Amino acid sequence: MTMAGAGALQMLRALTGRIIRFGRDRHGVAAVEFAFIAPIMLILYFITIEAVQGIETSRQVSRLGAMVADLVGQQDTMSKEALTGIMQIGETTMRPYNRSAPTITVTAIKISSDQKGAVPTVAWSGKLVNGLYAAGPAKNTTVTVPPELKIGDSFLIRVESNLGYKPVIAWSDKENASGLTGIFNNIEMNEVYYARPRIRREISCTNC
C-alpha cells in the first residue's frame, strides 16, 4: 500500500471514530430536548391562563347583569341619572379586566292583558355604552320574553350585558385587526337577566 493510500485510510478511520464518539456523546442532550419542549410548554401555559381568564370574565358578565337588576328592582322610582349610576356600579364588577368596556342595557317591561293575551311592551329603557348613558329601546315597543315569564298584568326588569372579550395574547388596540389577532381579538360574551321589582309592583322612570 502506498503512503498516500495509508494516509487516506488513517484519516477515514479517524473520521469514523469521531462520528462514533459523537453518536455516543450525551452531553447537551437535555438542553436540546428542552429547546424542543419549552415552546410547546409555554404555549400550553398561556392557553391555560387565557382559558381561565375567559371563563372568569364570562362569569363576571353574568354577575354584572344580576347586580344591576337587583339594584334597579330595589328602587321606588327611577331616573336617567340614577340608572346611569347603577349601571356604572355594575360595570366595576368587571375589574380587574379592563381591555374593553361592557355594554349594559336595562329595559323595564310591562306585560298587559287584553283580547290578544299577554303583551310585553317597553315601559322605559336606557343603556351604558363606553361608560356613557344612551337611549335604549323605544317606549311602547313590543318585545319578547321567555314564555314562563309572560304573565299578564306583571312587570319585569331585563338587563342585557354584552362584552367583546379581548385576550391578552391577541389583544390589539386596532378595531379592525387582521390575521390571528383579528380572529381572537373580540370574543362576544352576552348575558340576559330578568328580575321583578322588590318594593313596588311597577317602577316608573321620569326621564329615561
Q: Are 134 and 128 in contact, with CB atoms under 8 Å apart?
A: yes
Cell numbers for 146: 321567555
Taking 50 as the threshold, does the pLDDT of residue 195 lie above it?
Answer: yes
What does the alpha-carbon distance between residue 189 and residue 32 come to, in Å, rounded to a whole number?
42
Is the preceding peptide bond at 96 cis, omega within 30 degrees of 0? Answer: yes
Q: What is the 3-state secondary structure (H, E, C) of 195-208?
A: ECCCCCCCCEECCC
- Residue 48's pLDDT band, with cuts at 50, 70 and 90, is confident
- Per cent of the chain over pLDDT 90 is 43
- Residue 179's pLDDT band, with cuts at 50, 70 and 90, is very low
pLDDT value of position 116: 62
- Which amino acid is present at 111? I
Taking 80 as the threshold, does the pLDDT of residue 22 lie above it?
Answer: no
Taking 70 as the threshold, does the pLDDT of residue 207 lie above it?
Answer: yes
Length of the chain in terms of residues written: 208
80-91 vs 29-73: helix crossing angle, rounded to 10: 160
Look at 81 and 49; give whichever has higher pLDDT.
81
What does the alpha-carbon distance between residue 179 and residue 122 come to, in Å, rounded to a whole number?
41
* Strands 77-78 and 204-205, sheet pairing: parallel
Which of 46-60, 70-84, 180-194 has the lowest average pLDDT?
180-194
Q: Which of 94, 50, 55, 52 is nearest to 184 (CA)?
A: 50
What does the alpha-carbon distance between residue 73 and residue 88 come to, in Å, rounded to a whole number?
16
Q: pTM of the entire structure? A: 0.73
Taking 70 as the threshold, does the pLDDT of residue 111 lie above it?
Answer: yes
Taking 90 as the threshold, does the pLDDT of residue 33 lie above it?
Answer: no
Range among 21-25, 108-112, 148-152, 170-174 with highest mean pLDDT value: 108-112
